[in-house]
Structure 1
Amino acid sequence: MALVVLAVDDEPPALDELAYLLDRQADVAEVHTAGDATNALRELNERRIDAIFLDINMPGLSGLELAGVLTRYAEPPAVVFVTAHEGKAVDAFEVGAVDYLLKPLREERLAQAISRVIAAGEGSPRPPEMTAQRPAGGGDEVIPVELSGVTSLVRRDSISWVEAVGDYARLHSATGSHLVRIPLSTLAARWQDHGFHRVHRSYLVALPMVTGLRTSGSSTLVCVRANGASETVELPVSRRQLRELKDRLVRDPMRELKATTEDASQR
């Protein structure tokens, strides 16, 4: 079993050393890295990861908190803690860690951890084409966002619409507005099959939040419930997207669409 692993440590020299040692392991096919929990979650949502080798003390979400988040995934990666602190082993195994390694790392000890990861995975093989890991229960993606040094998790199903801000995107959700370092084009492609539609080069909307379409002169506006509230925002729809948007709205059960569209047409 050739593993795809993710190394996470907020100290660059330690991260480089961990990635180097993992890459030397015969059973490791790919090594990806992240300097904090936010980027680790982004990697986990971008690609299949079999095991995560994780420091405990990190800014934002700690390693233990990140491991707790992973327990809610339908197909969680195996977790191995790599730390200089001996006193957190009990907490580590309470969140389901496969192994607990102390720094400085020894290659033979790391090899034992790899063997334990493989043994743990043999009982529950993963689909080889799985490219993103979703939380269990609702099966919905979570997006890590940072505000004033605090990392929060925003569920995709809480997002009403997204706007492009250069190479960033601003998520408008039930928890507020959040700027993330992900291009709108990436989110549009990733969420196309999860109820989102790109109505304009600058806007992506959640179809369940659409309450109607309104014509204003030669332009068409889509009415979107703002952050799950009763208020709505109106966003422009490009001409080339209008037909597909209407088709998707007809296919998807929009309870409020017909009444709201009729009301808008009478304004």
Structure 2
Amino acid sequence: MKTAIVVEDEYLACEELKYLIRKYSDLNIIAEFSDGLQALEFLQSTQVDVAFLDINIPSINGMILAKSLYNSKSQPAIIFTTAYKEHAAEAFEIEAFDYLLKPYTEDRVEKTLSKLSAELYPAAMPIVASDSSINLYQGSRIRVIEVSDIIYASANGKITDVETVHGSFTSPLMLSEFVEKADNAKFFKAHRSYWINLDKIEEITPWHSGTYRLKCKGVETLIPVSRSNIKEFRERMGL
């Protein structure tokens, strides 16, 4: 089991975050701190896999703490939990795993933990369960999903976010690899970052330069059709 610490000086915020971590992951929270220096001293003698860091904390702030861990042999994945968006660029420089802005939503935390699970357990999941289903992450859980239940998949760096009729999931594959593994005649690569189930399209809206934006059943995200794919899309949809 992977381990984590929470560094947060607000009691209620700390309790909420711990609740969500336990609900959507199997991370073992082995310690919590309200003081940055105490957390640093702990991490100098104890290795953990993930550190959830508030930035505005006593003694040394979370950003200084994270920088002190950067490039260390035991550097954990850093997830900032803060109300201060101006530190996002610094977080990027030290390769923080994510930057959660308060007040964060349960859905936002769930997606972060789902991505984290794909990062921490890349070899733990068999990719294809059968010819018609695929295994996807939701937090630390693996769900077997019928490929026909996928609404769309979108690129998210080295992993793929997958929206389904059963909720949001993650695959540890890049989008191009995911498309190959979950091959289905009903799917269409609308854009270099989006792969969509044509059966789930609810509305097609004309957009600029003769392109379209697509609204799918059950989701609010509008998916673009790139100019290079317009001709094939019209043919597939009989437009």
TM-score normalised by the chain length of structure 2: 0.46
Please identify the structure whose Cα radius of gyration is greater.
1
TM-score normalised by the chain length of structure 1: 0.42
